[in-house]
Amino acid sequence: MTPPPAAPAGRSRRALWAVVLVVLLLLLGSGMASGWRDLQAARARERALAARVAAAEERVALLRERIGRLRDDPLTLERLAREELGWVRPEDVVIVLTPAPPPASPTPAE
């Protein structure tokens, strides 16, 4: 039996280059897919952080407004002292209401 004829050297080199090219393209594609997922995750995190920053800025603006009212508006300051500290003026009449006692439970008849 005679061995099969050998492929020409140029043909085997082309096949080798084709295999190398396919492997490189597969590696590049998997790297790009991983990079794309990482990019999407980073963009989602950026959006979440931007929302938190906007909420914090809004809270800061509200607090600055409240500070301004406390500094400049004596009526606001008085209202807060009355509500939060329970302060009263000397001429105010204070009525203290005590809770009503719970109704007595009836005793079972024997």
Distance CA 42, CA 49 (A): 10
- Count structural domains, the chain: 1
Q: Is there a contact between 88 and 82 (Cβ–Cβ < 8 Å)?
A: yes
The answer to whether position 6 is within a domain reads no
The reply to whether 64 falls in a domain is: yes
Residue 106 lies in a domain: no
Does a structural domain hold residue 38? yes
Q: Is residue 104 part of a domain?
A: no
Q: Does residue 2 form part of some domain?
A: no
3-state SS class at 109: coil
Q: What is the pLDDT of residue 8?
A: 62
Q: Whole-model pTM above 0.85?
A: no
More confident residue, 107 or 46: 46
State residue 86's pLDDT score: 80
The reply to whether 98 falls in a domain is: no
Structural domain containing residue 56: 12-85
Residue-wise pLDDT for 9-63, tens only, equals: 678 888 888 888 988 888 888 888 778 788 899 999 999 999 999 999 999 999 9
